[in-house]
Amino acid sequence: MPIDSFIITCEHAGNRIPAPWRRLFQGQQVLLDSHRGHDPGALVMARALAAAFTAPLVSSTVSRLLVDLNRSIGHPRLFSAATRSLPQKLRAKIVDRHYRPYRAQVERLVRQSVSRGRRVIHISSHSFTPELNGKVRRADVGLLYHPRRPGEAELCARWKASLAALAPQLRVRRNYPYAGKGDGLTSHLRLRFPPAAYFGIELEINQSIVFAAGRRWTALRGVLIDSLRAACAA
């Protein structure tokens, strides 16, 4: 059995707008501070996972409203309303400066581990707003994976079962509130690496827990780490 090698990423770690582009977001701080500008709590979770599993962490604090690192080139939501209408040359400059280096760094880390015969478990840390377009999201934790990648499906089933044993009060759902097979960094990497060598899991945490802070948020980070460790050992 191959040795597991963990890689942690956080594509929406912050809402920073680099100086050359700040004029595009004048008067839009409320938007930048919202869930549309970043994933609150995702970086805190990513750092905890990286420390627990002695794993490399790749994160970006540049707002997804400048360019979304979790979207493919050509995707209609790669750019936001503020950047979509920029001339192609300027959009290409944003991609070359912020998007491609991030994607290349993650892919390089995966490739290095796979070349050493390791099985890569990539956890991409995200969070989701408790309500979207008037619809309440009924989950505390989401585990996103591609249902046709047996290793990913099995790992998430074990992770969910482990969470149920350690924290039965948590509402844990698979491929919710998004479909794990949708466009994203993990779907890009699945095209580059075989199912037995690369497991791409997106971890989604309800932002209501993040904003409540205190013991519940601290406890959730601990139980997610302990349950993942148990799931991988099973």
CATH of domain 4-233: 3.40.630.40
Give me the mean pLDDT over the 29-48 stretch: 97
pLDDT value of position 1: 58
> In the chain, where are the structural domains located?
4-233
Q: Helix 214-233 vs helix 150-166: angle between axes, to the nearest 10 degrees?
A: 130
Residue 205 clears pLDDT 80, i.e. is over it: yes
pLDDT for 149: 97
R_g of the chain computed on alpha carbons? 17
Mean pLDDT for the chain?
Answer: 97
Checking DSSP bridges between strand 172-174 and strand 135-136, what pairing results, if any?
unpaired
The torsion angle over the Cα atoms of residues 175, 130, 77 and 105, rounded to 10 degrees, is -70
CA 204 to chain centre: 7
State residue 76's pLDDT score. Answer: 95
Mean pLDDT computed over 56-76: 97
Element holding 9 (H helix, E strand):
strand 4-10
Quick one: which H or E segment has residue 203?
Answer: strand 198-206
Tens of pLDDT, residues 113-150: 999 999 999 999 999 999 999 999 999 999 999 999 99
pTM, two decimals, is 0.97
> Is 155 in contact with 121 (CB distance < 8 Å)?
yes
pLDDT at 234: 79
pLDDT (mean) for 47-69: 98
